[in-house]
Amino acid sequence: MRLLIAEDDPVLADGLTHSLREAGYAVDHVGDGAAADAALAVTPFDLLILDLGMPRMSGLDVLRRLRARKSAVPVLILTAQGSVEDRVRGLDLGADDYLAKPFVLSELEARVRALTRRAGHAGQQWVEHGALSFDTAGRVARLAGRPLELSAREVQLLEILLARAGRMVSKEQIVERMCEWDEAMTENAVEVYVSRLRKKLEPGGVHIRTLRGLGYCLAPANGG
């Protein structure tokens, strides 16, 4: 999953970025509201972590413009301690959750897991697909009841395919969901990740179909 952090404090932003990348997310960062608004207008993110007190455009204005574009991306707002009015306004404008500064990193990570789980799999913690089980909170998989060893990239790819199980996902969509701005991922690299994941899933009867010239599809669990 791909996250955007909109935060003007570079120390806090670096800490959040490092922590969330370690947890297996693709993370981009912007330091002002105008940059956040521009990024959200052109890039599909799975979650926005939004500081309300940013230069060039306030977080509330970023949120207002985001929802005006009919975007349903989950938003976790960060607010100064005690700023109840801003929190209320943020929630009224369409934010999904808030966290007051200073906060404990583990709590932010838990809220990120909850919001991405709710958005991607309708509130389910465990997603079942044939012999495959995926824990959307812990981001771990089991195949036929046994732990499945996956790299961070393979977990990201599995999440993308599970979210659209039975439907085609193009290589371009996979790159957009997995790749950060400062990374260079080619469509050939996507083919490598798909091949590796396919080999790990097929012993359990879970198949990734290649739709030539189009993309990939996680085959229906019933084999149809």
User: Exposed (0-12), middle (13-18) or buried (19+): which is 72, by Cβ within 10 Å?
Assistant: exposed
pLDDT of residue 222: 62
Provide the b/e sequence for 136-165 (b: ≥16 CB within 10 Å). beebebbbeeeebebeebbbbbbbbbbbeb
Per-residue pLDDT of the chain (224 residues; tens, 9 = 90+): 789 999 999 999 999 999 998 888 889 999 999 999 999 998 888 899 999 989 999 999 999 999 999 998 999 999 876 677 888 888 899 999 999 888 889 899 989 988 887 665 544 567 888 899 988 767 789 998 899 999 888 988 998 898 888 889 888 888 888 877 667 678 888 899 999 999 999 999 999 999 887 899 988 766 54
Place of tokens 């800490």: 15
Cα 75 to Cα 45: distance, rounded to the nearest angstrom? 10
> What would the two tokens of residue 84 be?
């109840």
| The one-letter amino acid at 115 | L
- Determine contact, residues 25/183, Cβ cutoff 8 Å: no
* Phi, psi angle pair for 108, to nearest 5°: -60, -45
Q: Locate CATH 3.40.50.2300 in the chain.
A: 2-121
pLDDT of residue 224: 46
- Determine contact, residues 117/110, Cβ cutoff 8 Å: no
- Determine contact, residues 165/186, Cβ cutoff 8 Å: no
Residues 6+ apart with CB under 8 A from 23: 109, 139
- Determine contact, residues 112/80, Cβ cutoff 8 Å: no
CATH architecture designation of domain 126-218: Orthogonal Bundle (1.10)
pLDDT of residue 85: 82
Does the structural domain 2-121 have CATH classification 3.40.190.80? no
pLDDT of residue 120: 55
pLDDT of residue 16: 93
For residue 102, is the peptide bond before it cis, meaning its omega torsion is within 30 degrees of 0? yes
pLDDT of residue 118: 67
What DSSP state is assigned to residue 203?
Answer: G
pLDDT of residue 223: 53
| The one-letter amino acid at 57 | M
pLDDT of residue 3: 93
pLDDT of residue 101: 87
